[in-house]
Amino acid sequence: VLNCPVLRLEDLPMGTRLHTPLGECTADAVIFAAGAWLPEVNPWFREKIVPVREHSQSGPMESLSLPSALRAQYGYVQWVTQENYWAISGCRWATPHLEFGETDDNTTSAPIQAALSQFRSKYFNHNIAPTRQWSTLWAKSCDGLPIIGPLPGRATWVSCTGFMGNDWGWGMRAAKAVASGLLHGEAKEIPDWMTPARFV
């Protein structure tokens, strides 16, 4: 069931009861992979998962001699061109608080949108005004490392989050390890320094 928020969890003898706006269901295991919204679902993630707001803009494609995709500034800026459009995101340094802790993804920041346009102008000589601007949320962990594996004391509550918003390869590999642990009872490939046990 896509786009159905989990309001709260109950740990019961027969499993975990999930409460949603559509009703309730019981699960044998729960994977916490909701990123920025995890502290609202489970208090264990408070002070461990920090939401970060990222801004993007896009417009129709023109004749540009640009790479089809790139990342710059240690991953803080991403650019992509497709057949019909271009898009850029990032520039979180444009505000003093770096957009850490922001949870409203229905608004955009004028300074960051301006910084994105300045980046395009300076490095690509691309001065076309964007036709769309938006923001999204991702989440980082408090120590900058992913949190992968069972929560302390709850073998069936498994975390797979905190990937800094950019490391897609880590996320896919972590998902494979989590699936292996749930299906086969162990996932020895997860290093101790990535497991939730490091916070105990």
Joined tokens for residue 193: 């320094």
In a 3-state reduction of DSSP, which class is residue 113?
A: helix
pLDDT over threshold 70, residue 74: no
pLDDT at 92 over 80: no
The predicted structure's pLDDT at residue 97: 60
| Residue 172: CB atoms within 10 Å | 10
pLDDT above 70 for 93 = no
Both tokens of 55, joined, read 């801004």
The strand pair at 154-161 and 30-32 is best described as: parallel
Residue 101 confidence (pLDDT): 83
User: Do the Cβ atoms of 175 and 151 come closer than 8 Å?
Assistant: no
- Average pLDDT, integer, range 4-18: 90
CA distance 19 to 122: 50
| HSE toward the beta carbon, residue 11, CA cutoff 13 A | 8
Q: Which two tokens stand for residue 43?
A: 């208090």
